[in-house]
Structure 1
């Protein structure tokens, strides 16, 4: 026996194959799904237009996960984490938007729920490890990018507690998505052809509708950050994010504009040309380091944005200067640090620095000077 492991099962193909591979490798395996969804009637689990809530961690997903566990002959636990999730994920998520930030709940969930609360649960059950279906590799105490560059999820794992690393397994990190589906089909797993979840697991429908229900928002002016001209009306400053271009409702003369700053207290959304959302550096908070950064480090500020080299100007507070400008360095989002394939840690972006237009993305009436 190679040890015992609790597999976080979402009802998707990646976690299903993770459980299968671990059992085939000789581990004592148990599956667990964390229940996040509220007590709602079935119709309430539909999004706009009656579409099903296509997400992980729903009642349908729990059914699929249990089917896989039964097929593999492993125990399955449905863990009630609603209270934990509300406190650790949903409340900070809403607070972030209310402050004009754009939170990254998936990264926070990995840090505090999967590799925090779930790992503690595994220990209470007497199990050695927690495993997930993330496309990331662990070699010793080093986390590496997943082998499939289109599926690599290391960006979301920057907050992993260093002390948790020896107790984590990532069985599909050395595989491509195509290979994972092929394994699932050969094993006869019912999730083999299941489409990927696209939505946030706690949002049934569109994000803006969810935020409108939970936040007190009101319309206000869209202001050109460079001229001070009112160029439209927004639906509520907390609903927008730095770098946003679509859905702004701008006048025809100002369509080539992006969100370049938010003043939530004053309920003003500032827009400007693309260069006004380009930054030469960043300041970070909630820093988590899995290894030393050195004098220079590669920084990735969005999941699908390529990393750029940056000089480490200071660690406390964390200040980085990029070698080349980066678009929409967004307060509240994650910045993950790398050296080659190795994940060194990361931070929450407090604000962008060295803006090409001389603007501060956390704009207020007191900090903004019109040219």
Structure 2
């Protein structure tokens, strides 16, 4: 592969934020031929005004304002820029699976679904079509080719506070081989300083926090609005709230309103705090209990993507640290597999709220061994 310092044609994924804009400025200064690409994923005006949904849609990831900012940066850097409409594919591969997962009582991660199934795949397809050798993104991650293992390796970045490898576990060897992460060796303040020195207007722009199609993180309201738009009713999944012994202590209006570890919104009064322990889609029962009941050592994941190793053979075990949510501190565990795309793990110490639908990402030091979806 060409080195990052050797001039080449690179497609830069431009989100309109400071990180991807700084990447474009950095690679431009290094003499590369750049083409700016932005994926249009969701119509921000869609669902606005539906019951409970806000009229204003500013400030979300991938908003129309971000598109304007990305185009403006491309003009400042004097590079060609293309907006690629992928709204239909985004709805089919991210939004609809998200809705299905929530209705089934699981808690999916839309940003990981988007990275795994759409963004990198489509960016590389478009890059090939326009003659670009590789793509570059503003993700905080590192990758390199290990000749001894004959594999591309994904690793945590220098700035651990901005680590985004948890959302990138689904990248394939081919995708890693054609992707640059120029910010992997940088700290966030230095990135902002670089953008400022390049004269980019986005140098002080705040980072986007909200999911592009779910304002305020109100999943339940979004589900109702989306299904209404589709001419569908919210399925009746109302049922019983039960204790760990099976005692019925209340009722709920639908399993889509809950996630494992949830405390608020249970509609129960109790001398001690109660939390959601399990969601049972078949019976519509939601089991609640004490905080200590959320602790578990067992984890199962499917659709595992292996990165630093080609696979894990049946009967083979691997010592890893596992991250079960974005802000979770990776915990030591023994990982095993059936030889397919399923994996099981036993943590050395119990972990809180291992949640179906979330990602489990396996690490050895800074390297990403692989990851899958908790079930």
State the Cα distance separating 1:54 from its structure 2 match. 1.7
- Post-superposition offset of 1:45: 11
Go from structure 1 to structure 2 and tell me whether the alpha carbon gap of 1:44 and 1:185 turns closer, same or farther (over 3 Å shift): farther
Select the residue among 164, 175, 185 that pairs with 2:175: 164
- Asked whether the equivalents of residues 300 and 306 of structure 1 are also in contact (C-alpha less than 8 Å), the reply is yes
Query: Counterpart of 1:332?
Result: 357
Which residue of 303, 309, 322 corresponds with 1:286?
Answer: 303
* Normalised TM-score (structure 2): 0.87
Question: Does residue 314 in structure 1 map to residue 337 in structure 2?
Answer: yes
Q: Residue 174 of structure 1: which of 169, 182, 185 is its match?
A: 185
Contact kept in structure 1, 2:242 and 2:285, CA below 8 Å: no
Pair 207,43 (structure 1): closer, same or farther in 2 beyond 3 Å: closer
Task: Report the Cα offset of residue 41 of structure 1.
Answer: 7.4
Q: 1:158 to 1:223 in 2, by over 3 A?
A: same
More displaced, 32-41 or 46-55?
46-55
Partner residue in 1 for 2:26: 21
Determine the structure 1 residue equivalent to 2:114: 109
Equivalent residues of 1:285, 1:348 under 8 A apart = yes
Instruction: Note the C-alpha offset of 1:234.
Output: 2.9
Q: Distance in 2 between matches of 1:166 and 1:77?
A: 23
Q: Give the Cα–Cα distance (whole angstroms) in 1 for the partners of residues 308 and 330 of structure 2.
A: 17
Which residue of structure 1 lines up, in the alignment, with residue 211 of structure 2?
Answer: 200
- State whether structure 2 residue 144 is matched by structure 1 residue 121: no
Deviations 1:294-336 (A, max 9, x none): 5211111111111111112334441111111111111111011
Summarize the Cα distance change of 1:92–1:52 in structure 2 as closer, same or farther, 3 Å threshold. Answer: closer
Query: Does the C-alpha gap of structure 1 residues 40 and 52 become closer, same or farther in structure 2, counting only changes over 3 Å?
Result: closer
Pair 81,45 (structure 1): closer, same or farther in 2 beyond 3 Å = farther
SS in 2 for 1:146: coil
124 and 219 in structure 1: CA distance in 2 versus 1, 3 angstrom threshold: closer
Alignment of 1:268 onto 2:285: yes
1:94·1:211 contact (CA, 8 Å) conserved in 2? yes
> Which of 295, 303, 309 is matched with 2:326 structurally?
303
Corresponding residue for residue 67 of structure 2 = 62
Give TM-score scaled by structure 1 length.
Answer: 0.88
**1:63-142 → structure 2 map (5 Å cutoff):** 63-140=68-145, 141-142=152-153
Give the 5 Å matches for 1:26-37. Answer: 26-37=31-42
Gaps of 5+ in 2: 1-5, 146-151, 228-233
Q: Deviations over 1:169-227 (max 9, x none)?
A: 11112111111111111111111111111111122343221023235155734523323
> 2:60 & 2:78 partners in 1: Cα distance?
25
Structure 2 match to 1:210: 222
Q: Closer, same or farther in 2 for the Cα pair 1:46/1:342, shift >3 Å? A: farther
CA contact 1:11–1:56 (8 Å) conserved in 2: no
Mapped to 1, the partners of 2:278 and 2:48 lie a distance apart of: 38
Q: Which runs of 5+ in 1 are unaligned?
A: 351-371
Q: 1:250 to 1:219 in 2, by over 3 A?
A: farther
Larger mean Cα displacement after TM superposition, 204-213 or 322-331: 204-213
Residue 369 (structure 1) aligns with: none
Bigger mean CA offset, 196-205 vs 19-28: 196-205
* CA–CA distance in structure 1, aligned partners of residues 336 and 93 of structure 2: 31
Alpha-carbon offset, residue 50 of structure 1: 5.1
1:342 aligns with 2:367: yes
Q: Is the 8 A contact 2:50 2:225 kept in 1?
A: no
Q: Whole-Å Cα distance in 2 between the matches of residues 322 and 25 of structure 1?
A: 45
- Supply the distance in 1 between the matched residues of 2:280 and 2:245 (Cα, whole angstroms): 16
Shift of 1:271: 0.8
Q: C-alpha separation between the residues in 1 aligned to 2:48 and 2:205?
A: 22
